[in-house]
Amino acid sequence: MLEGPHSRLQELALLLRAVRDFIRGCRALHFAGPCVTIFGSARFHAEHPYYELTRDVARRVSRMGFTVMTGGGPGLMEAANRGARDEGGPSVACNIELPFEQVPNPYLDRWVSCHYFFVRKVLLLKYSYAFIAMPGGIGTLDELFETLTLIQTGKIRNFPVVLIGTEYWRALLLLLRDLKDRGAISPKDLDLVLVTDDLDAAMSHIETHAVQRFGLRPARPRPQPLLGESAVKPAKEG
Q: What is the CATH number of the domain that holds 138?
A: 3.40.50.450
Integer CA distances (angstroms), 155 to 46, 169, 172, in order: 36, 25, 23
Contact 93, 143 (CB under 8 A): no
pLDDT score of 238 = 41
pLDDT score of 8 = 83
Q: Is residue 235 part of a domain?
A: no
The count of C-alpha atoms lying within 13 angstroms of the C-alpha of 130, restricted to the half-sphere facing its C-beta, is: 30
Structural domains in the chain (count): 1
Q: Is residue 218 part of a domain?
A: no
Q: Could you give the CA distance from residue 18 to residue 144 in angstroms, rounded to a whole number?
A: 22
pLDDT score of 26 = 92
Q: Is residue 9 part of a domain?
A: no
- Nearest residue to 58 via CA among 30, 35, 32: 35
Q: Is residue 227 part of a domain?
A: no
Q: Is residue 14 part of a domain?
A: no
Q: Is residue 20 part of a domain?
A: no
Per-residue pLDDT of the chain (238 residues; tens, 9 = 90+): 566 777 888 888 888 999 999 999 999 898 887 999 999 999 999 999 999 999 999 999 999 999 999 999 999 999 999 999 999 999 999 998 877 656 789 999 999 999 999 999 999 999 999 999 999 999 999 999 999 999 999 999 999 999 999 999 999 999 999 999 999 999 999 999 999 999 999 999 999 999 999 888 755 666 667 667 677 777 765 4
Q: Is residue 22 part of a domain?
A: no
- What is the residue range of 188's domain? 34-111+120-213
pLDDT score of 183 = 97
- Nearest residue to 150 via CA among 122, 173, 176: 122
**pTM over cut 0.85:** yes
pLDDT score of 226 = 67
pLDDT score of 91 = 96
Q: Could you give the CA distance from residue 215 to residue 229 in angstroms, rounded to a whole number?
A: 25
pLDDT score of 237 = 53
Q: Is residue 234 part of a domain?
A: no
pLDDT score of 132 = 98
